[in-house]
A and B are shown apart, each in its own frame.
Chain A
Amino acid sequence: MGQKLLMRGNEAIAEAAIRAGCLHYFGYPITPQTEIAHYMAKKLPKAGGVFLQAESEVAAINMVYGAGSTGTRVMTSSSSPGISLKQEGLSYLAGAQVPAVVVNIVRGGPGLGGIQPAQSDYFQACKGGGHGDYRQIVLAPSSVQELYELTVEAFNLADRYRMVAMILGDGILGQMMEVVEFRDKEPIEDYDKPWATVGHGNAREQNVVTSIHLSPAVLEKMNQNLQDKYEIIKQKECRYELYNWEDAELFIVAYGTVARIAKSIIEMAKREGIKVGLVRPVTLWPFPQEAFEKVIGRAKAFLTVEMSSGQMLEDVLLAVNGRRKVYFHGRMGGMVPVRDDIMKMVRDIYKKHVKNG
């Protein structure tokens, strides 16, 4: 590992993108992620790239679609209301199989909501906010170091599978400052892009980047191809962290910022003799079923904690599939789960399922 820098989360994302070979950024200002744009505006022209402030989120994602169609590594970033505006473009990127990295530093909604951190865009990110049968790879960092590493990884995944890879952060991760240790050389995967629309040079057949197929038989086949691709991703690309899990009896399930809070709960619980482990999904789609299979044998119960009304909870319930009781604690609107509230639930669950269970 190389240089160590104290960095804000949003800046680490931008720096990671540049290191990953992304020299094209199109965006529109919105709190709490605008530092990404500031960083890009400053750095990209000097790196021989393009920073362009678009007239809207809608235009920005379509600029991404254009640049991505030429095989160029490209990124946009926004926060919740802006990501809603980008859903049309995300559906087209999926349909036309154009790689791109999209960052959502989530804030509380619905509507204009607030500017404080939230995890209430899980459904939108993982279940398809736009129209049609499509998926996008969703990565959920929980530290500034991970914002850097997973952003680099997002560009590789986007190119590898010709699809959108989304970084799903939150207002805390975007704004917090931590030390980031940068690699001397990034693990950039270089893919041929024979499909790119860059002019045929009178040397090959025409390339067309499109998502329209008016014949239902053709459109179904195209959809089947997408589903086949998604199946491969489910097999190969699930990422997760298991923490303090070898002798744990209860498991908290949490991602991003909330996973950090969960780790401090685990330490508190230890002091009270309660053995709590953590299942932290790093890919939210594909959802890491495997992590649950590893712990289900020793888990007496699960507690899902989110900064939402319980969105990841639905995937946890599917993963556990009725084999154990799954509890939930969530805060909404930019409020962050409080340690004492979670600890109280841990004690109650322990009493019910371990001590008296």
Chain B
Amino acid sequence: MAVIFQKPKALKDTSMHYCPGCTHGIAHRLVAEALDELDIEGKTVGIASVGCSYNSYDYFACDMIQAPHGRAPAVATGVKRSKPDCVVFTYQGDGDLAAIGTAEIIHAAARGENITVIFINNTIYGMTSGQMAPTTLLNQYTTTTPYGRIADLHGFPINVCEMLATLQGPAYIERASLHDVKHIRKAKEAVKKAFKVQLAKKGFSLVELLSTCPTNWGLSPVESLKRIKDEMIPHYPLGVFKGENLEV
């Protein structure tokens, strides 16, 4: 019997702890498929961050390091600078990357650090049970904005791709979405391109993946996917923000 579809080799054969309807599983798979297709798992070092994906080393089969909250880009810098032949990626959520780790991500990008960042934006802190993230949309209810995010009180959401694209350092920045098959296929191309940029030694690459958090959004998995399309994409437009014409 011919195998026509299977788990990527770069993902371990184990069940994930993520909630039903969470898109972390899809994002993990896209990263693993890229590692498989580029045949780089053996020389890859992944950096797990703090958040729901803190133990992604239980799922990814490559060598992994668990970083302190927000510090993954600095840890990745240390790995890449000491072992330039390794492929190095970080996998970070929006609290990790855009709040506590803002300095680390901006400076890794500004240095043009030759690493790949997979940035999961679901507009909320998942693991700690649904607090406001830097990416939380105005009027969004969270456990720390029980009356909705109000600009006067909580400020405005941060558009990470747009902000980083103002820097000279980054080679490639794209925002993609995981809300339907068509967009997942585009997201896959973006993730793979990001790794190819690193392999070509072009410098810093980041892919933001608009993702769900049904548990903390209080929505069903299907409603959650619809929320990405109806509420998130209008504020977080999809597309390439840096390196559109970069050939790798």
Residue of B nearest to A199 (CB): B43
Give the residue of A24, A88, A207 whose beta carbon is less than 8 angstroms from that of B82: A24
A66–B65 contact, CB under 8 A?
yes
Q: Within the assembled complex, what's the spacing in Å between the Cα atoms of A89 and B83?
A: 20
A59–B63 contact, CB under 8 A?
no
**Residues of chain B contacted by A89 (CB below 8 angstroms):** 68, 71
Give the residue of A63, A96, A197 whose beta carbon is less than 8 angstroms from that of B63: A197
**Contact A65/B42 with A210-B57, A212-B54 known, Cβ cut-off 8 Å:** no
B66–A211 contact, CB under 8 A?
yes
A70–B82 contact, CB under 8 A?
yes
Give the residue of B42, B45, B68, B81 whose beta carbon is less than 8 angstroms from that of A62: B68
**Residues of chain A contacted by B65 (CB below 8 angstroms):** 65-66, 69, 96, 197, 208-210
Q: Which of A10-18, A49-57, A273-281, A284-292 contacts B (4 or more CB under 8 A)?
A: A49-57
B79–A70 contact, CB under 8 A?
yes
Q: Within the assembled complex, what's the spacing in Å between the Cα atoms of A209 and B62?
A: 12
**Residues of chain B contacted by A70 (CB below 8 angstroms):** 45, 78-79, 82-83, 86
Measured CB to CB, the residues of A under 8 A from B are 24, 26, 50, 52, 54-56, 58-60, 62-70, 72, 74, 88-89, 92, 96, 197-203, 206-212
Is B74 in the interface zone, CB < 8 Å from A? yes
Q: Within the assembled complex, what's the spacing in Å between the Cα atoms of A203 and B42?
A: 8
**Contact A199/B81 with A62-B104, A210-B57 known, Cβ cut-off 8 Å:** no
Residue of B nearest to A202 (CB): B42
A88–B68 contact, CB under 8 A?
yes
Give the residue of B64, B71, B81, B107 whose beta carbon is less than 8 angstroms from that of A24: B81
Q: Give, as a whole number of angstroms, the nearest-CB distance from A141 to chain B.
A: 26
A64–B83 contact, CB under 8 A?
no
**Residues of chain A contacted by B96 (CB below 8 angstroms):** none
**Contact A69/B75 with A197-B65, A202-B41, A203-B42 known, Cβ cut-off 8 Å:** yes
Q: Within the assembled complex, what's the spacing in Å between the Cα atoms of A256 and B42?
A: 47
**Residues of chain B contacted by A67 (CB below 8 angstroms):** 78-79, 81-82
Measured CB to CB, the residues of B under 8 A from A are 41-45, 47-48, 54-55, 57, 61-68, 71, 74-83, 86-87, 103-104, 106-107
Most chain A CB inside 10 Å of its own CB: which residue of B47, B57, B66: B66
| 14 A-B residue pairings within 8 Å (CB atoms) | A50-B81, A55-B103, A55-B104, A59-B104, A62-B75, A89-B71, A197-B79, A198-B63, A199-B42, A199-B87, A202-B42, A208-B65, A210-B64, A211-B66
With A62-B71, A66-B75, A96-B66 known, 11 other A-B pairs at CB within 8 A are A50-B81, A54-B107, A55-B103, A67-B82, A72-B82, A74-B78, A197-B79, A199-B62, A199-B83, A201-B43, A207-B63
B79–A69 contact, CB under 8 A?
yes
A208–B66 contact, CB under 8 A?
yes
A197–B64 contact, CB under 8 A?
yes
Q: Within the assembled complex, what's the spacing in Å between the Cα atoms of A120 and B64?
A: 37
A26–B45 contact, CB under 8 A?
no
Residue of A nearest to B67 (CB): A62
**Residues of chain B contacted by A207 (CB below 8 angstroms):** 63-64
Q: Within the assembled complex, what's the spacing in Å between the Cα atoms of A65 and B42?
A: 21
Q: Within the assembled complex, what's the spacing in Å between the Cα atoms of A207 and B61?
A: 9
Q: Give, as a whole number of angstroms, the nearest-CB distance from A27 to chain B.
A: 12
B42–A201 contact, CB under 8 A?
yes
B103–A59 contact, CB under 8 A?
yes
**Residues of chain A contacted by B82 (CB below 8 angstroms):** 24, 50, 66-67, 70, 72, 74
Residue of A nearest to B47 (CB): A66
B45–A197 contact, CB under 8 A?
yes
**Contact A208/B79 with A198-B63, A199-B42, A199-B45 known, Cβ cut-off 8 Å:** no
Residue of A nearest to B55 (CB): A212
Q: Within the assembled complex, what's the spacing in Å between the Cα atoms of A62 and B57?
A: 19
Q: Within the assembled complex, what's the spacing in Å between the Cα atoms of A60 and B43?
A: 24
A68–B43 contact, CB under 8 A?
no
Residue of A nearest to B54 (CB): A212
Q: Give, as a whole number of angstroms, the nearest-CB distance from B38 to chain A.
A: 13
Residue of A nearest to B74 (CB): A62
**Residues of chain B contacted by A56 (CB below 8 angstroms):** 103
**Residues of chain B contacted by A64 (CB below 8 angstroms):** 78
Q: Within the assembled complex, what's the spacing in Å between the Cα atoms of A203 and B43?
A: 11
Q: Give, as a whole number of angstroms, the nearest-CB distance from A272 to chain B.
A: 55
Q: Give, as a whole number of angstroms, the nearest-CB distance from A210 to chain B.
A: 4
B61–A206 contact, CB under 8 A?
yes
Q: Give, as a whole number of angstroms, the nearest-CB distance from B35 to chain A.
A: 11
